[in-house]
Structure 1
Amino acid sequence: MENKKRDIWLVVSLVILALYSVFMIYPLSILFKNAVVTQEGTFTLEYFVRFLSRYYYFSTIFNSFKISLCVTILTLLIGIPLAYFYNMYRIKGKTLLQIIIILCSMSAPFIGAYSWILLLGRNGLVTNFLKTFLGIKVPSIYGFGGILLVLSLQLYPLVFLYVSGALRNIDNSLLEASENMGCSGAKQFFKIIIPLCIPTILAAGLMVFMISFADFGTPLFIGEGYRTFPVEIYSQFMNETGTDKNFAAAISIIAITITTIIFLIQKYINSKFKFTMNALHPIEAKEIKGVKSIFAHIFCYGIVFIAYAPQLYVFYTSFQNTSGKLFVDGYSLNSYVEAFSKVGRAIKNTFFIGGSALTLIVLISVLIAYLAVRRNSKLNKFIDTLSMVPQVIPGSVIGIALIIGFNKPNFTLVGTFIIMVIALVIRRNAYTVRSSVAILQQIPMSIEEAAISLGTSKLKTFFKITVPMMLNGVISGALLSWITIITELSSGVILYNYKTITLTIQIYTYVSRGSYGVAAAMAAILSTVTILSLVIFMKVSKNKNFMM
């Protein structure tokens, strides 16, 4: 009987491995084959040579690296001090501040680009105001500077959340000891706190780098002539004058190689700084007064206001009247009426496709987490690693791989809801897996052993005891997965058709056409769904401190 029970978990491992093999490893292997095999079936490196030998193409890698590196540095410069002030001092309105910080990161990056265009574009609100009343010409929002601005203000919350989690693991006795030795203030920040947070800072930096490297919505909208790597992948695959799938496959393989190398370098560096901390006496926020208090509040609220103001302006413009592509005087609900009349399918698809993907993500993630933590073996470690692989692969590459892999005469998934769900599960599963693993590692094995010793089967113990105890971690990861699901663009824009279009993709198409009023209403609807998701999470989990 014991062997049979063990076999049940082995079967679970093999089923999950089979799913990853069919829906991730197989499409990526077909993608690789297309990159090195011509249409006639002969081996070639022509597509790689074409990309690497022509500056027109190769420069996109340099541009993406430049953007990603600058965004990473800027988000660290914003996010680390923000987390420090927030956790070390008593900032007024902390709960509201944290909610807004989280909301800054929970919209699709291209919506951020669209928002900034409304403010600082050629006919933007701030642009016209400064030009008309002060005679000041605002620097162009388009190009490198605009991409850097949008992505930095979109991604700094990730650094804030990561570093906040690390700060809460620092024992206050360490800081008290350093203060007794004359190390306080800025010196303590750089000599004690930063070194203790290095592993977390590296992890946050990698996350920001990967997201900004893989994003194509922002540079597509606001980059104009500044071409980036993901945009080039998308352009080659979706080119209206003729698709070169083999060349697009080769560029995709280069993207996977680059991001994997960066990931491995970060893992190596992180291993050099690896240590554990246990905060028996967590940091307590201190009261601050005078100049320091004024500076801390201005810094925190100033950053948050600048980052969230464009989204507030989108809400505002959604109520403005429009004439063609222009906003005109007067307010009404016309944009919402038109939006709801046109996006009924998109809203339905968003919840149906997203809900289906989230259900599968929760189920698979809980099983993977249990296998990785409680059934530690080489097979389960490999499965855990497979769940992380999509984190370092641009979404457009996943989309291209799925199209190439499942567009066969006898096995066609392209154009169906199923392929959209598969893409979302592959892309967004890691958030719930990591969160579930983290919470399960904190649950003593002795609780499960006690249930088993009382005659409960292992499977019943898993579902009746372990899963309920994991609930907070699962909900936390599921929220992140859900938010990224409903704002997913990079893989969806390649995979969708008129039957499977989602709200995010619908917004993208309307912004592309210049229908800004309807786009603003749709973006406001999506933001409202995001806010409600966050509120529901906080109510269900009864947790006011949302951390990575």
Structure 2
Amino acid sequence: MKNNNKFKLDLWGGITLGILILYAIFLLYPLLNMFKDAVIGAAGLTMEHFAKFFSRPYYTNALKNSFVVSFAATFTSIAVGTPLAYIFTQYKIKGKKVMQMLIIIASMSAPFIGAYSWILLMGRSGVITNLLKPLGIILPDIYGFGGILLVFTLQLYPLVFLYVQGALSNVDNSLIEASENMGCTGFRRFFKIIIPLIMPTLLASSLLVFMRAFADFGTPMLIGEGWLTFPVLLFNEFISEVGGDSAFASALSIIAILITTIFFLGQRWLSNRKSFSMNSLHPIEEKEVHGFKSFWLHFYSYFVVGFAVMPQVYVIYTSFMNYKGMVRQPGYSLDQYKQIFSSSLGRSVWNTLFIPIVALIIIVLLAVLIAYIAVRRRNWLTGIVDTISMVPYIVPGTVIGIALITAFKRPITGGMLIMVIALVIRRLPYTIRSSVAILQQIPMSIEEAALSLGSNKAKTFFKITMPMMSAGIISGAILSWVTMISELSTAIILYSVKTQTLTVSIYTSVIRGQYGVAAALSTVLTVLTVISLLVFNKFSGGKSVQL
């Protein structure tokens, strides 16, 4: 591995410069342009937009609401996902493989679909609400903070589950046995032994959950009602100012970036302080459970997973109901699906396939090149590229959309090109990290042997290195694909009539009260997600998804 910190203008040096120029044009320039709009006015340098935000309770309350619901969602997701991962690792649970797939599907589906589902189930005219009302049972209001927290928890606990399950696979079973021999069992062992061992993983998963909840736009927009959150405020302010000055929206975007950056750096600092390595010579072995304990472990597992997937199941069921416009009629019908594929909505299905496919091709190419120069051709410039490539990980999707549309007003906005650029920027880090992980496991001596036998650098890379990286590349690409087809926060800013995707069509259908059409569109998106995850499972050899 080369690590001489010297930049050479050879083949890989030229590729490094080219990638850096692309990042400068499509990421750094839009973000810097947004910063300029926020701090420079007609009279020069100004802080009036920031002063406007911090001087009005309407704006600061939206930020406070986002903090409250994001911290609450982080806590509840950890409280639900961590015990479930421990149960799945420690004990034999019937139907575990099916439940694991359902958990992954729940984590990969668009969050706002969960909000829409719970409105159908427990809204003011929801099916559960109407069933319980004659019995005198009045359910808590699903709208506002409680509804947002419910949706976030059921959507985000799978991320904690996946992270923790991966960490528990590295815990040596001898530690569990030693604790049992010393009389530390049950809840005490869980909190005294397991939690400290997986603390770095809990910190990493808590950051991901917090940033997902903080940046989510669709869920609070649909189910929040009076509970205004920061992403909704940002969207509303930008939309109201598209025809004029967007400086205030840019100032809000800068505030969002600062917040997510602070939490990202804080999490990294805490993780570094508490990090340690574990070698699992004897992995945790699943145990048979019987009697009362078996009942409660199965009950908890089935209840959590069933409760999480229930909204999606009901949406699929709703898609076959007989709707005439906004009114439900008796019986069942395929009219919703006929309406999708016989109208302009069919374009949204095509766009959801075509735009991400184009973006995915670019993502795979760039990810492989960035991973290679970051691991094999290390120098100060490749270090900069590697660092910049992770910036979109901490920038909310709404902010990326606003930055692109303000930087490139014409000629590329409103078309497919801007959508492709946004998806590439947003989802490239997934495939980069996956490619880096697999490349670090490939010995450098293999490439050196090929070069010594007369192969040039380009041929060695494409004929030797890339095929050996294929497993990591495909896994990262599929995960990027799944997140792209469910993307809303960026798409809602950048789409036009010709580039409307499934997520945008679902959102607009719900807003218009076309629940039957929205359900059918959601079902199509769910089917695409399931197919993608099955493909991932095939290529990954049944390994768990790692985000």
Find the residue that maps to 2:11 and give its secondary structure: helix
Find the residue that maps to 2:498 and give its secondary structure: coil
User: Which residue number corresponds to residue 107 of structure 1?
Assistant: 109
Q: CA 1:126–1:51 in structure 2 vs 1: closer, same or farther (change >3 Å)? A: same
Q: Does 1:30 align with 2:33?
A: yes
User: Which residue number corresponds to residue 419 of structure 1?
Assistant: 418
Which amino acid letter does the alignment assign opposite residue 150 of structure 2?
L
Kindly tell me the number of residue pairs found equivalent between the two proteins: 542
Asked whether the 8 Å contact 1:237–1:244 carries over to 2, the reply is no
Distance in 2 separating the partners of 1:547 and 1:261: 24
Q: CA 1:240–1:224 in structure 2 vs 1: closer, same or farther (change >3 Å)? A: farther
* TM-superposed deviation, 1:544: 4.5
* TM-superposed deviation, 1:37: 1.7
Asked whether the 8 Å contact 1:448–1:466 carries over to 2, the reply is yes
Find the residue that maps to 2:322 and give its secondary structure: strand
Distance in 1 separating the partners of 2:401 and 2:420: 11
User: Which residue number corresponds to residue 270 of structure 2?
Assistant: 269
After TM superposition, the structure 1 = structure 2 runs for residues 55-74 of structure 1, keeping only pairs within 5 Å, are 55-74=57-76
Distance in 2 separating the partners of 1:183 and 1:377: 50
The sequence identity of aligned pairs, in percent, is 58
User: Which residue number corresponds to residue 45 of structure 2?
Assistant: 43
- List 4+ stretches of structure 1 deviating above 6 A: 2-6
* TM-superposed deviation, 1:182: 3.4
After TM superposition, the structure 1 = structure 2 runs for residues 466-477 of structure 1, keeping only pairs within 5 Å, are 466-477=465-476
Find the residue that maps to 1:128 and give its secondary structure: helix
Q: Does 1:399 align with 2:401?
A: yes
For residues 304-324 of structure 1, the C-alpha deviation after alignment (integer angstroms, 9 at most, x for no partner) is 100100000000010101133
After TM superposition, the structure 1 = structure 2 runs for residues 10-409 of structure 1, keeping only pairs within 5 Å, are 10-38=13-41, 40=42, 42-132=44-134, 134-239=135-240, 243-342=244-343, 343-408=345-410
Which amino acid letter does the alignment assign opposite residue 14 of structure 1?
L
User: Which residue number corresponds to residue 503 of structure 1?
Assistant: 502
Find the residue that maps to 1:321 and give its secondary structure: strand
Asked whether the 8 Å contact 1:63–1:227 carries over to 2, the reply is yes
Find the residue that maps to 1:407 and give its secondary structure: coil
Asked whether the 8 Å contact 2:37–2:247 carries over to 1, the reply is yes
Distance in 2 separating the partners of 1:20 and 1:4: 18
For residues 209-253 of structure 1, the C-alpha deviation after alignment (integer angstroms, 9 at most, x for no partner) is 001000011000000011010101100110289654011111111
For residues 285-329 of structure 1, the C-alpha deviation after alignment (integer angstroms, 9 at most, x for no partner) is 122222221111111111010010000000001010113323232
Distance in 2 separating the partners of 1:363 and 1:60: 40
For residues 167-220 of structure 1, the C-alpha deviation after alignment (integer angstroms, 9 at most, x for no partner) is 112222332333334333333222222112111111100000001000011000
Gaps of 5+ in 2: none
Q: CA 1:260–1:4 in structure 2 vs 1: closer, same or farther (change >3 Å)? A: closer
Asked whether the 8 Å contact 1:237–1:243 carries over to 2, the reply is no
Farther off after superposition, 109-118 or 361-370: 361-370
Farther off after superposition, 83-92 or 279-288: 279-288
User: Which residue number corresponds to residue 520 of structure 1?
Assistant: 519
Distance in 2 separating the partners of 1:4 and 1:399: 34
Distance in 2 separating the partners of 1:462 and 1:184: 52
Distance in 1 separating the partners of 2:242 and 2:172: 61
Farther off after superposition, 360-369 or 174-183: 174-183
Which amino acid letter does the alignment assign opposite residue 370 of structure 2?
I
Asked whether the 8 Å contact 1:162–1:200 carries over to 2, the reply is yes
Asked whether the 8 Å contact 1:95–1:544 carries over to 2, the reply is no
Farther off after superposition, 469-478 or 245-254: 469-478
Distance in 2 separating the partners of 1:141 and 1:83: 28
Taking structure 1 as the reference length, what is the TM-score of the superposition? 0.95
Distance in 2 separating the partners of 1:252 and 1:184: 48
Which amino acid letter does the alignment assign opposite residue 77 of structure 1?
A
Distance in 1 separating the partners of 2:457 and 2:23: 25
Which amino acid letter does the alignment assign opposite residue 72 of structure 1?
T
Distance in 1 separating the partners of 2:188 and 2:440: 35
Find the residue that maps to 2:289 and give its secondary structure: coil
Q: CA 1:435–1:507 in structure 2 vs 1: closer, same or farther (change >3 Å)? A: same
Asked whether the 8 Å contact 1:252–1:397 carries over to 2, the reply is yes
Distance in 2 separating the partners of 1:298 and 1:316: 25
Asked whether the 8 Å contact 2:7–2:13 carries over to 1, the reply is no
Distance in 2 separating the partners of 1:291 and 1:492: 49
Which amino acid letter does the alignment assign opposite residue 466 of structure 1?
T
For residues 468-515 of structure 1, the C-alpha deviation after alignment (integer angstroms, 9 at most, x for no partner) is 222222222212211110011101111010111111111111111111
Q: CA 1:375–1:418 in structure 2 vs 1: closer, same or farther (change >3 Å)? A: same
Q: CA 1:514–1:198 in structure 2 vs 1: closer, same or farther (change >3 Å)? A: same
Distance in 2 separating the partners of 1:335 and 1:150: 25
Find the residue that maps to 1:102 and give its secondary structure: helix
Distance in 2 separating the partners of 1:116 and 1:82: 23
Which amino acid letter does the alignment assign opposite residue 302 of structure 2?
Y
Which amino acid letter does the alignment assign opposite residue 326 of structure 2?
K
Q: CA 1:175–1:449 in structure 2 vs 1: closer, same or farther (change >3 Å)? A: farther
Gaps of 5+ in 1: none
Distance in 1 separating the partners of 2:48 and 2:508: 34
Find the residue that maps to 2:316 and give its secondary structure: helix
Which amino acid letter does the alignment assign opposite residue 105 of structure 1?
S
Asked whether the 8 Å contact 2:7–2:379 carries over to 1, the reply is no
* TM-superposed deviation, 1:94: 1.6
User: Which residue number corresponds to residue 453 of structure 2?
Assistant: 454
Taking structure 2 as the reference length, what is the TM-score of the superposition? 0.96
Distance in 2 separating the partners of 1:536 and 1:521: 23
For residues 83-110 of structure 1, the C-alpha deviation after alignment (integer angstroms, 9 at most, x for no partner) is 1011111111121111000011121111
Farther off after superposition, 178-187 or 66-75: 178-187
* TM-superposed deviation, 1:372: 1.8
Farther off after superposition, 528-537 or 320-329: 320-329
